[in-house]
Amino acid sequence: MAIQWFPGHMHLTRKAIAERVADIDVVIELLDARLPGSSANPMLAELTGHKPGLKVLNKQDLADPERTGPWLDHYNAQPSTRAIGLDASQTTPARRLIEACHALAPQRGGMAKPMRVLICGIPNVGKSTLINTLVGTRKAKTGDEAGITKMEQRIVLADDFYLWDTPGMLWPRIVVAQSGFNLAASGAIGRNAYDEELVALELLGYLKRHYAGLLEARFKLEGLASLSDEEVLESIGRQRGALLGKGRVNLQKAAEIAMNEFRSGTLGRITLETPEEFAAWLAAGQLLDAQRQAKKDARARGKKRAPSGEDASADGG
């Protein structure tokens, strides 16, 4: 199943970023620390690739600390890039962003050369919460739902520090299949774009392999290794009373429970991908995408040749 979600306002966001970036000194991209690779927007990299970048792994308080370190190393190794982890609701760590931006663009600062920063990220990654924390007041709308911010906002953090906030933006086509599942599990994709049961099964399958102890403890599961993903989902539904009658489990409700437990951090501190895993997923996705494009191009060439061949047959007759 390919998960895709690109509402109309995201086209406007793409255009706004392309127009704004020429006057920007630093681009901050907020990533979800639980899925740092999947939440990095490849289209954003194309739009802003020549600008210094600050990768902020937000929600690190929900992520697995043993996996956050390697991801920070991964991004810090990239040219003209710095990476930090934080929880956007905490004031002191959030102020580190201003210091990091000055480190990336030391020539900017003061009234003559004010720092101009663009902040971007996928939907529901915590941009509005971060901005409200930095400003100290409720400047941006927040909510546990993808696509809250719909318009660009200019925010003055200091006399010589301007911040432009953009709506959350995904990319027109998600090439990495696992990224689609991870984004949906995190709440970055609108609920009408995916089947919650399928996403929950994918999530539970990963948790069985990498966080079995957390699953067993939270949902009081026994013999987890011998259970299929479907049986785990059913067990969660029964344990939480998600029943339809006659002993049948409401799998839709059970899926909601599993994903909400992950999103809220109630299940534990979890990261759904490592840099190595994501690199492998990306390579596989790009190969499959190239194969699909080759088939599409071949069909297009065949359609162009068909009319001329038919005409030749007619003339020969």
Residue ranges of the chain that CATH labels 3.40.50.300: 8-165
Q: Please give the pLDDT value at position 8.
A: 54
Q: Please give the pLDDT value at position 234.
A: 96
Model-level pTM?
A: 0.85
CA distances to 2, 121, 151, 166, 266 from 175, in Å: 9, 18, 27, 23, 30
Q: Please give the pLDDT value at position 148.
A: 41
CA-nearest of 169, 223, 132, 190 to 45 is 169
Question: Both tokens of residue 278?
Answer: 């994501």
Q: Please give the pLDDT value at position 312.
A: 45
Its sign, for the CA torsion 201, 219, 59, 128, is positive
CATH for the 177-264 domain, from 3.40.50.720, 3.30.70.2520, 1.20.120.1460, 1.10.1580.10: 1.10.1580.10
CA-nearest of 122, 130, 129 to 143 is 129
Residue ranges of the chain that CATH labels 1.10.1580.10: 177-264
Euclidean distance between CA atoms 174 and 172, whole angstroms: 7
Q: Please give the pLDDT value at position 6.
A: 58
8-165: in CATH 3.40.1190.20 = no
Euclidean distance between CA atoms 135 and 91, whole angstroms: 9
Residues of the chain scoring pLDDT < 50: 140-150, 311-317
